Amino acid sequence: MTAFAMPVFVFAILLIVAIALLIALIVALVRGKRFRERFMRGVFLAAACVSVLCVLLICLFLFVNGVPAIGEIGPLRFLAGTSWRPGNGLYGIAPMILGSLYVTAGAILFGVPLGLLTAVFMASFCGKRLHGVASPLISLLAGIPSVVYGFFGLVVMVPAVRLLFGSDETGGKSMLTASLLLGIMILPTIVSVSETAIRAVPDIYYEGALALGATHERAVFFAVLPAAKSGVMAAVILGVGRSIGETMAVIMVAGNQAVIPGNPLHGLRTMTANIVLEMGYAADLHREALISTSVVLFVFILLINFLFSLAKRGQTL
């Protein structure tokens, strides 16, 4: 199936499903109550099936168009190669893989502790008035476009890193800058999800800890927070997905050098940035190699979710 036929095929399926649901809805409006209840169950089932179908179609498109290029280049040369020079027939994405991992790890190191402590404060220590002001402001961070974050990083964080660490080689555009910026970007996700998880813990955990002589702080950190571990892990998963898939902000502050960084002050290029920067003019094997890069990125996200699911399952056993 060609790259052009695949989007047409996907659009046709989604259009048919939408028309079928619309016709069924019109029919349901003129029938009885029992029929409407059955119809709504069918609508919910159809919505779930469409969601699963979209994921399967994305997987199909990526693997059909990306795997052949990996076979043509060579899996080892593609995944472990350190040179990305499409003009010379070199398609090694190891620098981009490591760049994505480094930036994501840095964002987690910065964003997860700060976000988790903020969520604990919002749920257990913050007054109602302060919470009424702080909560909307934190939620507002989630609505800021990534390009605005990128401008903030370019104008404020890049000069700050250059001034503090003397990063003259890249002018402040580095792995450190990108990690700090992504750490800020994942804060609203981690804070909101973690706070919801903490507030969902039954009061008996907190009250039982107090009855055993624990202080308020110890009751929160040693009784309530461990009980909310599942929700906190879900927040971390969402934060990882946001950071590893971010593109525009990273392009503006990371330096976009397709090399393996020697230290946090060196520039790098992530997989998403590599796709965006070169897809506009890529053709033939070059374009297929970029699609193959998206396959690797997709597999990485699946593996991260799978590992977190295993860890979550191990905690419940």
CA distance 56 to 65: 14
Instruction: Supply the CATH number for residue 192's domain.
Output: 1.10.3720.10
pLDDT in tens, 259-279: 888 888 888 888 988 888 888
**Is 298 inside any structural domain?**
yes
Instruction: Name residue 150's amino acid.
Output: G
Same domain, 238 and 168: yes
Instruction: Name residue 71's amino acid.
Output: G
Same domain, 126 and 181: yes
Say what the pLDDT of residue 167 is. Answer: 62
Same domain, 157 and 283: yes
CA distance 132 to 147: 28
Question: Among residues of the chain, what percentage have pLDDT more than 70?
Answer: 85
**Is 257 inside any structural domain?**
yes
pLDDT in tens, 147-204: 899 999 999 998 888 888 876 666 778 889 999 999 999 999 999 999 999 999 999 9
Same domain, 68 and 103: no
CB 268 within 8 A of CB 257: yes
Same domain, 52 and 142: no
**Is 87 inside any structural domain?**
no
The domain in which residue 278 lies consists of: 95-316
Structure tokens at 148: 């605005």
Same domain, 216 and 151: yes
How does the average pLDDT of the chain come out, rounded?
83
For the cut 70, the answer to whether the pLDDT of residue 317 exceeds it is: no
Say what the pLDDT of residue 62 is. Answer: 83
> C-alpha angle 222/224/228, rounded to 5°?
115
**Is 88 inside any structural domain?**
no
Instruction: Name residue 227's amino acid.
Output: A
pLDDT in tens, 191-200: 999 999 999 9
| Nearest residue to 41 via CA among 49, 99, 137, 193 | 49
Average of per-residue pLDDT across 10-33? 64
For the cut 70, the answer to whether the pLDDT of residue 281 exceeds it is: yes
Q: How confident is the model at residue 304 (pLDDT cuts 50, 70, 90)?
A: confident
**Is 81 inside any structural domain?**
no
**Is 90 inside any structural domain?**
no
Report how far Cα 68 is from the mean position of its chain's Cα atoms. 27
- Residue 55 to residues 43, 209, 243, 284, Cα–Cα distance (Å): 19, 44, 20, 26
| Nearest residue to 218 via CA among 204, 206, 229, 236 | 206
The domain total for the chain is: 2
Same domain, 172 and 56: no
Same domain, 149 and 233: yes
Q: Where are the beta strands (DSSP E) in the chain?
A: 84-85, 90-91
| Domain-terminating residue out of 43, 73, 103 | 73
CA distance 16 to 7: 14
Same domain, 132 and 189: yes
Same domain, 57 and 158: no
**Is 21 inside any structural domain?**
yes
Q: How, if at all, do strands 90-91 and 84-85 pair?
A: antiparallel
Same domain, 238 and 193: yes
Q: How confident is the model at residue 4 (pLDDT cuts 50, 70, 90)?
A: very low
Say what the pLDDT of residue 279 is. Answer: 84
Comparing 190 with 246, the larger pLDDT belongs to 190
**Is 173 inside any structural domain?**
yes
Same domain, 103 and 64: no
Q: How confident is the model at residue 33 (pLDDT cuts 50, 70, 90)?
A: low
Cα radius of gyration rounded to whole Å, the chain: 24
Residues 6 or more apart whose CB falls under 8 angstroms from that of 270 comprise: 96, 99, 100, 103, 178, 247, 250, 254
